Amino acid sequence: MTHNGISTGEAEGRRRDVVARLQRMTAGEDLSFEAPPIVAVRQMAGFSQAEFARILGVTVGTLQEWEGVS
């Protein structure tokens, strides 16, 4: 099965990678990279706005502001 053109297994792997990276960033580690727009990160990992907001510990409204949603 695919979502946004990627397999379910690949999407799960991307999700794990994104969550691990966010955890390291939150801990003050692994800050030496140029981040793509947050909406691209969320979509690449296959998260909905609600899922990604929960992972980041912010409201969906805050995430939408960061993503530039009107």
* Tens-digit pLDDT profile for residues 46-59: 999 999 999 999 99
- CB pairs under 8 A, 24+ apart, for 2-8? 3/46, 4/43, 4/46, 6/46
CB of 41 closer than 8 Å to CB of 18: yes
Q: What is the mean pLDDT of residues 33-45?
A: 80
Phi/psi of residue 67, nearest 5 degrees: -85, -5
Q: Taking the complete model, does pTM exceed 0.75, yes or no?
A: no
CB of 68 closer than 8 Å to CB of 38: no
A 10 A CB-CB count for 38 gives 14
17 token code pair? 């990678």
| Domain that residue 27 falls in | 2-67
Question: What is the number of domains present in the chain?
Answer: 1
pLDDT of residue 6: 67
Is residue 69 pLDDT above 90, yes or no? no
